[in-house]
Structure 1
Amino acid sequence: MSLRLLYIIDSLRIGGAETLLLDLLDAAHQRGDQVKVAYFTQGPLEIEITRRGVETVRLSRHGLRDPRALTRALRLMRDWNPDIVHTHLIKSDLVGQLAARYMNRRRVITLHNTDPWRRKRVLSGIYRTLTSGADACLAVTENVADHVARFGGYNRARIEVVQNGVDLDRFAAGRVQPMDLSQFGVPEDAVVLAKIGRVTEQKDHENFLQAISRLQERNLNMHALIVGDGELSEVVRQRARSLGLGDGQLTFTGNLRDMPSLLAAIDIFTLASKWEGLPMALLEAMAAEVPVVSTAVGGIPDLIKDGVNGMLVAPSDPSALAGALECVIADADARGRLGKAGRDTVESRFSGAAMMDRLWSIYDMSGAGSKFVGDGCGLR
């Protein structure tokens, strides 16, 4: 029996949760389910969702400050009558879960990050009150589940881990034409390292820029790319200039959508975040056999073993990040070894097909009178 799935997400900008949403829409189409997407902030992914024949509904342009967001969510659920409401990220969790509870819809919530705001008792209490009792509470890693249980007051036994997965065929090395990086002023013989993701506090571009500045002092034949956009874009650009990082060392590309082509063209993927769950961009880089240098935050240490299938450093430590990057820049054999081991890890543990099968097995338990696995996000 086909399902009617309503996905609610904070934005349609380019990011990990948003990339996962596109994969969910594709999986729903393949399984014959009907889908709609509700959101708050506009972004370039709206075009890709529309191309898939999926209707989008904007709940509000003012976020949680607009009480009409809840009214619109209630109206959408009343008029379209979804079987399942699946929410992603904080605004959508708060509004979507409350509306779905009122409308007596099956509720799924995915927890994506080890967000620091959960340590604040008042905020965590509000979130817990509005979202508790969801029929299925999913976390992308064990670390995220532990974090939410510890600081959010949830029963850890009720949180089920469904790890993110990646389309292995789409990112297989040698299957796509590498992107022409000369358009960004990248020398043909340079070792190219890229930081891919939203330009936000979480991603800690300050850490990355300071590391690149240290590498620049060592006269390495390298070029860095910052791929993405966000609320701190201009601040980060100004900071790069203040550190003396010009076009010859660092290029801001803005958003790029052809990730397979980009990953095929770079030599090193870098993640400098302060906190994470299980980043989709990281999994995609590993699937493309691009060696990874990352901070050891969130669920990443469960995925990467330092020196085996990637390099790990402490967060907010630009000297350590620069040191790890220098080792990988200088050793082409190490890059090849780490990249191959990363691909092997993703193949064995993080296939997109396996993730979707597990998620839909949870969805399919939504028949009349049934309960989801785990019986919801219970409180301690």
Structure 2
Amino acid sequence: MNKIKVLHIIKSLGRGGAEMLLPETLKIHTTSKFEFHYIYFLPWKDQMVSSLEEAGGKVTCFSASNNIKLLQQYSRVIDYCKTNTIDIIHCHLPWAGFLGRLVFAKTKVPVVYTEHNMQERYHIATKKINQFTFNSQSLALGVSEDVTNSIKNNINPKIPVKTLLNGANTDTFRRDPDLGIKIKRELSISKDALVIGNVAVFRFQKRLVEWLQVFKKIETKNPNVYGIIVGAGPLEEEIIQELKRLKLEKKVKFTGLQTDVKPYFSAMDIFMMSSSFEGLPIALLEAMSMECAVVSTDAGGIKEVIRDEQDGLMCKIGEWEKLSGLCQVLIDDPEKLLELKKAARERAVNSFSLKRMVDSLEDIYGSLVSEGVKE
């Protein structure tokens, strides 16, 4: 039996949540039945390329400096599909989705689109193009019920829209205390310090300026608390300025982009998110799998993952200042901190494992190919 050839199309392969899922899912896909190809367009955002290639993926960059030039690559993508006899195209995020729909219109190769964000959060032009083109594909997947409902409410699509919750590779994302100690040493953090962390692209919805303000309140009362923020992004200069204004240069450590975040999760005791909106953040699921206690706003899909007081502690999006008090509860009660660390891991393993997500994707791919054969 020939392998089903799946082509993933995504704008970049930098360290974003959607991008990071690709090598993680590839590691546990049934490669005896499926062959995976990847096309991306921003050559300077290639942090995930080596991980994909090491896992057996075939990666190609069709360089495009802006979104219009990205769409103009559709004929090259069509040629790629014909040359490599691609059976399924799986697109991630809007502009890759728009291109995939152009290819679908020309070739009728089944196209699956995964939506990671709420429609309300997109630029009006992106929303309009999404509405106009959405039915020119086979199936859409929302990464949370919030995202799926947003698609239905804003687009009212005629194609099927299903929810497929994101997952974390709970087999590989396991806490390693030795690695945590090593990272603390490298970052000049004392071995017995409590660490509050975050892993994020530096975009406005992550509210990292507010994150630093919350941390300042915590640190003022608790001198042996440190912060670690892993990531980079367009708001980096603004965030660093706030770090300096708050005089936190010695207490919050910025690591930049990291291909392997597991050592940093191993150093964190509390994973704190101050987001104003989310789909279903991969970093949250990875942190939970790594036994980080979660303190977060209830943005988007986060409230589908965290059951307040059971798997973590949450506050309303507009009440982000309460995050400092929630962290203080765990600082003052080490037993509760340990309890929520274990609960986070248990929740990730039982309800958000990547294996569950991959099995569902393979069923979807197989069904679409079978439907095409029948036609």
For normalisation by structure 2, the TM-score amounts to 0.91
Moved more, 83-92 or 217-226: 217-226
Matched, 1:101 2:88: no
Segments of structure 2 that go 5 or more residues without pairing to the other structure are none
Percent identity between matched residues is 27
Kindly indicate whether residue 205 of structure 2 is the aligned counterpart of residue 202 of structure 1: yes
* CA contact 2:78–2:107 (8 Å) conserved in 1: yes
* Aligned residue in 2 for 1:71: 75
Q: What is the rounded CA distance, in whole Å, between the counterparts of 1:371 and 1:77 in structure 2?
A: 17
Aligned 1:1-380 pairs, distance under 5 A: 1=1, 2-28=3-29, 30-41=31-42, 42-66=45-69, 67-118=71-122, 120=124, 122-154=125-157, 158-173=160-175, 177-178=179-180, 179-247=182-250, 249-370=251-372
When residues 300 and 23 of structure 1 are mapped into structure 2, their CA distance, relative to the original with a 3 A threshold, is same
- Deviations 1:105-136, CA, capped at 9 Å, x for gaps: 0110111122533484x532311222324212
Distance 1:38 1:131 in 2: 21
Match of 1:377 in 2: none
* Structure 1 segments of 4+ aligned residues over 6 angstroms from their partners: none
How many Å separate the matches in 2 of 1:110 and 1:271?
Answer: 23
| 1:137 counterpart letter in structure 2 | A
The 8 Å contact of residues 263 and 288 in structure 1, kept in 2 or not, is answered as yes
Q: Does the 8 Å contact 1:135/1:371 carry over to 2?
A: no
CA shift for structure 1 position 368: 4.8
Q: Distance in 2 between matches of 1:235 and 1:175?
A: 33
Partners of 1:313 and 1:51 in 2: how far apart? 40
Helix, strand or coil for the counterpart of 2:73? helix
How far apart in 2 are the matches of 1:239 and 1:50?
38
In 1: Cα distance, 2:313 partner to 2:198 partner: 15
Helix, strand or coil for the counterpart of 2:335?
Answer: helix
Question: Is the contact between residue 201 and residue 231 of structure 2 (CA under 8 Å) also seen in structure 1?
Answer: yes
**Alignment TM-score, normalising by the size of structure 1:** 0.90
SS in 2 for 1:116: helix
Kept in 2, the 8 Å contact 1:141–1:162? The answer is: yes
SS at match of 1:257: coil
**Structure 1 counterpart SS, 2:307:** coil
**Alpha-carbon distance between aligned partners in 2 of 1:226 and 1:244, rounded to the nearest angstrom:** 16
Per mean C-alpha deviation after superposition, the further-off stretch among 54-63 and 335-344 is 54-63
Q: Offset at 1:328?
A: 1.8
Report the CA distance shift for 1:334/1:78 in structure 2 as closer, same or farther (over 3 A).
same
C-alpha contact 1:60 1:68 (8 A) present in aligned 2? no
Partner residue, 1:375: none
Please say if residues 141 and 278 of structure 1, whose CA atoms lie closer than 8 Å, have aligned partners that are also in contact.
yes
SS at match of 1:364: helix
Distance in 2 of aligned mates of 1:227 and 1:295: 19
Distance of aligned partners of 1:215 and 1:371 in 2 relative to their CA distance in 1, 3 Å threshold: farther
Shift of 1:101: 2.6
Write the distance in 2 (CA, Å) between the matches of 1:56 and 1:359: 20
Superposed displacement of residue 91, structure 1? 1.4
Q: Determine helix, strand or coil for the equivalent of 2:10.
A: strand
Q: Relative to structure 1, is the Cα distance of residues 241 and 115 closer, same or farther in structure 2, using a 3 angstrom cutoff?
A: farther
Considering only aligned residues, what root-mean-square deviation do their CA atoms show, in Å?
2.2
Uncovered stretches (5+) of structure 1, i.e. residues with no partner:
373-380
